[in-house]
Amino acid sequence: MFKAAVFICMLGLGFFSQAQTNFIHTFSSNTNGHYTSSAAAGGEVRLRDPWGGSNFTLNTMTDRYFAVKFIGAAPLGPNDQDYIDNGGSVDGEVHTVCEVYFAPLPAQATAKNSVDLKIEHKTYGYYTTAAGNEVYYVKLDTLDDGSPQFGIEGWRQLMEAEYGDVTLSNFQFKYKGGSQAVNLAVDWMGFFETVADIEAYAATADDGTGDNDEVIGTDAKLSNLTMDGTTIPGFSENVFSYDIVLPEGTTTPPTIAGTLSDQNATITATTQASNLPGTATIEVTAADGNTTQTHTVNFTAYDRTHDQLLITFSDADQNAKLDLESGSFETIDGHFMAAGYEESTGNFRQDFQYGFIDGTNETLTLNPIRDKYLAVKFIGALQGGFTLDQTPFDVYVDLKHTAVSSDVSFAGSIDANDYPLTDYNYTTANGNVVIYVPIDSLGNTSWADFSLDAQNGVNGGDPESSYDVWVNRIEFKFRHASEAFDWNIDFVGFFTTVADIEAAANGMDDGHGDFDEAVTWDGANWSASVTEDVPATLNANYTGAGFTCAALNVGTSDLSITSGTLDVKGDLAGSGAVNIASGASLLTYEGMNVANVTLNRNTNGSALGYSFVGSPVVSDPAITGANLGSTVYSYDETQAYSAEGGARWANAAATQLQAGVGYAQAGQSSISLTGTPNSGNVTVAGLTYSAGTASEQGWNLLSNPYAAAISTQAFIDANTNLDAAIYLWDDKNDGSQGTNSDYLTVTNLGAVAAGPNGGSYNGNIGAMQGFFVKVAAQGTADVTFTEAMRVSGHNDDASFFRKADAHELNLKLALTSADGSLYNETLIGLREDATLANDRGYDAAKLFGNSDIALYSLMDDQPMAIQGLPVVEGTSTELAFNLSVDTELTLSVAALTGLTDDFTFTLTDLQTGKNYNLSEVQNITFQATKGNNQNRFRLTYGTKSILAADKALHTVFKTLEDRIELSFGKEVSVQGYVLYDLSGSVLSQNELTLQTKQLIIPVQNEGIKILKVFTADGQITRKFLF
């Protein structure tokens, strides 16, 4: 028979571009793949390929004829006498010539470089197709070139030699001579074995370009599909998708190639797999130009979780069936669903069989080194009178391995007498039952011998995978059930440990919708709803919002969560990249295996400004302060406090980051850390409260150690050894030292900011957010973060400084300079369980350090950033402020929530005596002079009618650098004063008899001062901090 492949020829300079062939049917340089040419009378037309560059072959063992098919009639027929001996033509003129030049034959390779065989003929056979196309052919061993070496006998000897395919160094076919013009139109030419082959090909197969009798094919199949030159296992022309498991440790996918079934078809695209697992494809378009077929090869490396499991059952494949066709069965959504039958009166049985009875279906593998259990997972519970302590479970497995002379098998039964099923079953959280069998308990002699050989071989250096055994048949059955029953099988497979079985039962499944199976992402859609009850698997890259799942396997795909929360209740596995964008959250849990994750955070501020941050990943020597920015500091409370504060800050660029510890960073406005996310409890030990001034000691810098926000209230409530407040900070300066005025103070009552552009606090501490806390008592303390503190969401980049709770009675006041350059806040909240004393969780002291402006309330002369008061009519507190310059100020209501119509807050200006109903008046503007501790205002809560009657005047205090000023609002009789320090020592005193509206008392040094002023109306006592 002839052999066909694509051939390209150009007149005079024609060439072959593909593999060697002995047949030419498509000429790319001419019309519709045909070769057309013409010559005037006496000229010649020819087909040839380049001298010495031919890919044309002749098989000396099979090829016996050379044939040419023309489009229509041939230019010279056997009865066309006009072409023979016409006019003055030389007698014996040759009209058609086939010239063949061979490359060196094996026997002559050393004798000469080429052998020329010139075949000239005047007589030949011909055949006309039904459509009128003529085919001329000549039998090769009847030709004689007249040479002594290649006469007829020599040619016959050549044809009989067992050279096989012999390469032609040049081949040409031509017409010459004659008295008329010659028009040549060739459809194909080539070498054939028989005349019948010639006629069959002439009438049927052709080049698909439209001559009269050709058949335009719709065949887009492959006659062969190879990987790295070897035919794909199980190849068939009618199979278009293959799942190929490569040897263990394979890292590079094979290269695939296809051979067309119809040579007139075209391979339009070939895509090779780039990774493992990976997919390679060949796209074929049939000769008709419309029919297409994709041939797919899915490659995976040897993996114990895949080629050991049968997870999808199909009626069409006839892989799974009932033994001896007893009972009834069907496959639905990839599950095997069957009904049992009555074997004998009162006894019921159900048989399952996978694989043909003759053992030709080899899909699963078993390895004696690693596989110790056969497991079957059912959908739901076993039915129909089964009792796990009595029901026998019979197992039969036939195996095939090239390393042994005969098949390997094992068979046996487990029941109450040896391995009761009560000891070998597992039920998933959703009620699906798994039965598993120890393989060694079922093994016969052949299996035991093979297992021993395998163990000895592996000990001797053989790879474990070399002892994989193909499973021809699996059969198992339950017997002696007390009533008829149904069963639904989800998977059957082999496992190493019971833990592997349980993991597969809960996580790895076929994706067809049973209770606990995995849902898959294909790059565009999930196969089913993603919920916390089912695991999820990525088969393609995912970019988008977070989701909740029982477990997550990203495989080799990349996962990027751009918003929301990714909540993975179980393991997070895979080698693909996992990226959590700034503002998104990740929840993982203690005891679960979690792959490396990249966590990102944009800090609030420029690349020059400082921010307090921390690490959300497990401590690693490779993760240091340098990962946070070009400038990084840690805070050491045990160092002496100074006004500048610099002594407590230590360079932490080379320090290994610790979970829960806070750091100050500058130099970059975004942070990206890669590692295992923190989960479980995180304890920061050894927080300190050193001896010294109370307002300066006990401060420690922490950070949220998780990749999700945590509840501020949960943190405060859990850590009772701290003052019940946190201090968030995000400096807006140019990278120089920050000040205490940059803090946002937060308690369970609410939050107040240091500036008007602080963002939007939402009651939570964001991921990687740093914050200060104050230890409650002198000594050391530990602080603990717990998973329960974490919240879903609430982690966006602007989530600071606002708590949304419309049901709380809160008043936030802001003090602003006329030009807006100075701003500060304080918060007063009323709660049923609050008192006039310090309430943990509600009250927070005011942090000072910025000498420009501060607004605060007073509790026993203690400045408070946030103060909780009881919900009692007439409850009041003084408001004070510090100011560095004389300027116009506006005290405004920044927020007022939870107030009923009958009640209000009244603000009294103690200097002017005016009252303001803050339900009606939002802004109060006044002229202010510089000074600290200026208790100019009183805030009172109550009914509008009672508050309106209060016109009393009060003493207003103000401290400057060297004195205390008192304003009484009216003339009073002052009798003297005494100034003490905190130890009770008298610093200064004076007895006076003075009628005045103002009193000035000099102060010599810094520290806490207690002032007592004696008047005719009574004694005034007040505490001040200088």
Q: What is the pLDDT of residue 333?
A: 57
H/E element, 895: strand 887-897
pLDDT at 510 over 60: no
Model confidence pLDDT, tens digit, residues 891-918: 998 888 877 766 788 888 888 888 888 8
Q: Between 841 and 481, where is the model more confident?
A: 841
In angstroms, the CA 230 to CA 212 distance is 39
What is the DSSP annotation of 660-723?
Answer: TB-EEEES-SEEEEEEPBP-S-EEEEEEEE-SS-GGGSSEEEEE--SSS-EEHHHHHHH-TTB-
Q: What is the pLDDT of residue 282?
A: 96
What is the DSSP annotation of 556-604?
Answer: TS-EEEEESEEEESS-EE-SS-EEE-TT-EEE--TTS-B--EEEEEE-S
In angstroms, the CA 984 to CA 537 distance is 72
In angstroms, the CA 513 to CA 517 distance is 7
pLDDT at 1000 over 90: no
Count of CA atoms in the C-beta half-sphere (13 A) of 277: 19
pLDDT at 70 over 80: yes
Q: Provide the 3-class DSSP secondary structure of residue 335.
A: strand
Instruction: Please answer whether residues 826 and 856 qualify as being in contact, where contact means their C-beta atoms are separated by less than 8 angstroms.
Output: yes
Model confidence pLDDT, tens digit, residues 318-335: 444 544 445 556 666 566
Q: Between 353 and 120, where is the model more confident?
A: 353
- Label residue 669 by pLDDT band (50, 70, 90): confident
Q: What is the pLDDT of residue 309?
A: 65
Model confidence pLDDT, tens digit, residues 719-753: 999 988 888 864 444 333 444 445 677 777 776 66
Count of CA atoms in the C-beta half-sphere (13 A) of 862: 15
Q: Between 198 and 986, where is the model more confident?
A: 198
Q: What is the pLDDT of residue 127?
A: 83
pLDDT above 70: percentage of residues in the chain:
64
pLDDT at 575 over 80: yes
Instruction: Please answer whether residues 95 and 122 qualify as being in contact, where contact means their C-beta atoms are separated by less than 8 angstroms.
Output: yes
pLDDT at 455 over 80: yes
Q: What is the pLDDT of residue 480?
A: 63
Spatial CA neighbour of 49 closest among 21, 23, 18, 10: 10
Q: What is the pLDDT of residue 949?
A: 35
Model confidence pLDDT, tens digit, residues 129-150: 877 888 888 777 665 555 544 5
Q: What is the largest CA-CA distance in the chain?
A: 161
Instruction: Please answer whether residues 774 and 723 qualify as being in contact, where contact means their C-beta atoms are separated by less than 8 angstroms.
Output: yes
Q: Between 672 and 367, where is the model more confident?
A: 672
In angstroms, the CA 194 to CA 181 distance is 33
pLDDT at 592 over 70: yes
Instruction: Please answer whether residues 747 and 815 qualify as being in contact, where contact means their C-beta atoms are separated by less than 8 angstroms.
Output: no
Token readout for 750 is: 């609410």
- Label residue 4 by pLDDT band (50, 70, 90): very low
